[in-house]
Chain A
Amino acid sequence: EPKEAIHDEL
């Protein structure tokens, strides 16, 4: 599902 993915990992 499209989600505004905020990536919190390096």
Chain B
Amino acid sequence: MNLFRLVADLMHLVSIFILLLKMQKTRSVAGRCSRISFKTQALYATVFLTRYTDLFANFQSLYNTTMKVFFIASSLYIVFLMKFKFKATNDPRLDTFKAQYVVGGAAALALIVNYAFTVQEVLWTFSIYLEAVAILPQLFMLTKTGEAEVITTHYLFALGTYRGLYLVNWIYRYWTEYYVDWIVWIAGAVQTGLYCDFFYIYFTKVLKGAKFELP
């Protein structure tokens, strides 16, 4: 474990707490001008469920196991909140990204490009590829509504920073322990890349107190 990865995981936690806070505070999944994509949250739940199949078989540390349980539980809870508790505020007509394309693409790629052709390894690889593109429905929704509440932008900032810091962690691990993992490196780079234009708007506007509006 290194500081980059620890802070990255904490940013991931923060993003989940921001989302839960937003939903509890506004008691909805849609604010005045921004919405949370149910598809993205369902994709994240899928990512954690397919990645942590080794939850009981591969004990790394108490930290690792605790975080895995938290990510699975929180992502399922968020899906539950959106699907049941705050269902009335969830408008599927605005969540129009074709999620089946990214699920199908990630599954096909995981069957072709993986480290071992075993059920667990292919599921893990699928979860890595899926996580890279799981934010697309949310970003797509943002482009449709054209603006977002500040708390939604903080959620996206934390989420983007988590994987961005993992890139730094991978550089550090390659440099210190010759750790190489092409699949997570490339997927992580794509994942962080998807946030670039968001980060640009976030840093140039939101942090200056302006509203988050797409040009």
Contact = CB atoms under 8 A, between A and B. Distances in A.
Interface of A: 2-10
Contact of B58 (A2, A3, A7): A7
A1 B105 CA distance: 23
Given A5-B124, A8-B64, A9-B184, 17 more contacts: A2-B115, A2-B116, A2-B117, A3-B115, A3-B116, A5-B115, A5-B121, A6-B58, A7-B54, A7-B124, A9-B5, A9-B166, A9-B169, A10-B9, A10-B12, A10-B68, A10-B71
Interface string B102-137: 000000000000011100010010000000000000
Interface residues of B, number: 18
Contacts of A9: 5, 166, 169, 184
A5 to B, nearest CB: 5
The DSSP consensus for interface residues of chain A is: loop
Interface of B: 5, 9, 12, 54, 58, 60, 64, 67-68, 71, 115-117, 121, 124, 166, 169, 184
Most buried by B among A2, A5, A9: A9
Nearest to B8: A10
Contacts of A2: 115-117
* CB-CB nearest 5 A-B residue pairs: A5-B115, A2-B116, A8-B60, A10-B67, A3-B115
B78 to A, nearest CB: 17
Most buried by B among A3, A6, A10: A10
Nearest to B67: A10
